[in-house]
């Protein structure tokens, strides 16, 4: 697998998501979950952009961007609700 900038950013975001999630589970402090969700949405956007650059499987690209927008919508709604 070829390492490029977007793949490196994706791996860094993935490691942060895993670390935040493990911390939330162990400490039972869920205040960092919105940050984890935003990082997850950014990861989906990066994956979608990489697939778009390959110009393959347009339905997968739409799915990645749709899931990212939905996650961001849920995070914004949770901030507005509280």
More confident residue, 5 or 11: 11
On the question of pLDDT at 31 being above 70, the answer is yes
Per-residue pLDDT, 1? 56
Average pLDDT over residues 22-30: 93
- Express each pLDDT in 36-56 by its tens digit: 999 999 999 999 988 888 877
Per-residue pLDDT, 78? 86
More confident residue, 68 or 56: 68
Phi, psi of 57 (to 5 degrees): 45, 80
Closest CA to 38 of 6, 77, 82: 77
Per-residue pLDDT, 3? 65
Q: How far apart are CA 58 and CA 55, in angstroms?
A: 7
- The domain locations on the chain are 5-81
Average pLDDT over residues 18-39: 93
């Amino acid at each position: 697998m070829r390492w490029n900038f977007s793949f490196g950013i994706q791996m860094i975001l993935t490691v942060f998501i895993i670390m935040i999630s493990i911390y939330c589970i162990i400490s039972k402090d869920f205040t960092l979950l919105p940050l984890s969700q935003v990082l997850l949405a950014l990861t989906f956007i990066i994956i979608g952009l990489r697939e778009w650059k390959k110009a393959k499987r347009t339905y997968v690209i739409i799915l990645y961007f749709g899931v990212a927008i939905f996650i961001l919508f849920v995070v914004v709604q949770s901030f507005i609700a509280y």
